[in-house]
Amino acid sequence: MRPDLEVIARGRDADIYRVDRHRVLRRSREGRRLDEEAAVMVHARAAGFPVPRVDDVSADGTEVLMEFVPGPTMADAMAADPGSVVARSERLAELSADLHTIAAPAWLGPGPVEPGPCLVHLDLHPLNVIESPEGPVVIDWANAARGSARVDAAVSWLLLATGGDGGRGLGVIVDDDVRDAAVDRFAHVMGERDVRHVLAAVVAWRVLDRNVRSEESAAARRFSEERLGAGGGEGA
């Protein structure tokens, strides 16, 4: 890698470097292989789903050269225009539904909670959608798996309500009424009755993740209790 490249973003375990006007380099800080993630993006793009184009992967799998996608994240666009939050939450649900029409490649590992045939993102929230001039583009496919559409939808529902990476839920963007309307709209589009059925199991899975902060875990449990009742409600 060229030493003069500018870091333009830092993720949980990888940095993004600007290569030129049209390309960026994603590089793992800890040597984690990114080649499977890149292959998932190629698979999703071939099926017509909006993801950055992958141009090359290093021999050791720790660097991915990909398309630079200009634009704010959906979270930043929501913050700049609170009146659009409900509509953008609906768009997030539509992206999720579109993704779940894609069959996962056979080599991809299984997702949590219950089996399924779909390509699932498992981290689809407003911070992982870039609003490019051509439309929304989904990034950060590190958690992608072969799994259940309703489990993936429940993960997004939970993250939309309580915060994704960095804890930036809708509660820090808009007031409670707008947040609740947006969260409810997402659930309505995805089919709340079906998604509720796996919510408790999804929360139990998520709070075991060492990368999830204690306040995010507490918020997830509160959300589950609010939606399902203190006893846990429906299970998987």
The one-digit pLDDT tens for each residue of the chain (236 residues) are 556 788 888 877 889 999 999 999 999 988 899 999 999 999 999 999 999 999 999 999 999 999 999 999 998 999 899 899 999 999 999 999 999 999 999 999 999 999 999 999 999 999 899 999 999 999 999 999 999 999 999 999 999 888 754 444 565 566 777 888 899 999 999 999 999 999 999 999 998 988 788 888 888 898 899 888 744 455 44
- Of 74, 233, 216, the C-alpha closest to 155 is 216
pLDDT of residue 2: 58
First-last CA distance in the chain? 46
Same domain, 49 and 33: yes
Residue 112, both tokens: 């949590």
Q: Is 161 exposed, middle or buried (0-12, 13-18, 19+ CB in 10 A)?
A: buried
Taking the CA atoms of the chain, what radius of gyration do you get in angstroms? 17
For 90, phi and psi rounded to 5 degrees?
Answer: -65, -40
pLDDT of residue 169: 57
The domain containing residue 135 runs over which residues? Answer: 74-228
pLDDT of residue 174: 66
Q: 114: domain CATH number?
A: 1.10.510.10
For 21, phi and psi rounded to 5 degrees?
Answer: -65, -25
Same domain, 94 and 204: yes
Q: What angle separates helix 192-206 from helix 214-228, to the nearest 10 degrees?
A: 150
pLDDT of residue 177: 79
- Contact indicator for 10, 28 with CB cutoff of 8 Å: no
| pTM listed for this prediction | 0.90
Residue 26, both tokens: 């994603």
Residue 234 lies in a domain: no
pLDDT of residue 231: 44
Same domain, 36 and 86: no
Residue 222 lies in a domain: yes
Of 19, 52, 67, which residue sits at a domain end? 67
Name the 3-class secondary structure at 226. Answer: helix
Residues in the chain: 236
pLDDT of residue 232: 47
- Contact indicator for 102, 56 with CB cutoff of 8 Å: no
Of 21, 51, 67, which residue sits at a domain end? 67
Same domain, 137 and 180: yes
Same domain, 59 and 108: no
Report the distance separating Cα 34 and Cα 32, nearest Å.
Answer: 6
Angle at CA 148, nearest 5°, toward 143 and 154? 75
Q: 57: domain CATH number?
A: 3.30.200.20
Same domain, 127 and 178: yes
Residue 236 lies in a domain: no
Give the number of domains in the chain: 2
Same domain, 94 and 144: yes
- Of 71, 103, 85, the C-alpha closest to 176 is 85
Same domain, 26 and 112: no
Same domain, 212 and 152: yes
Same domain, 148 and 37: no
- Contact indicator for 130, 73 with CB cutoff of 8 Å: yes
Q: What angle separates helix 85-99 from helix 176-190, to the nearest 10 degrees?
A: 30
Of 52, 67, 82, which residue sits at a domain end? 67
Only one residue has tokens 């990368």, namely: 211
Same domain, 43 and 96: no
Same domain, 23 and 122: no
pLDDT of residue 178: 82
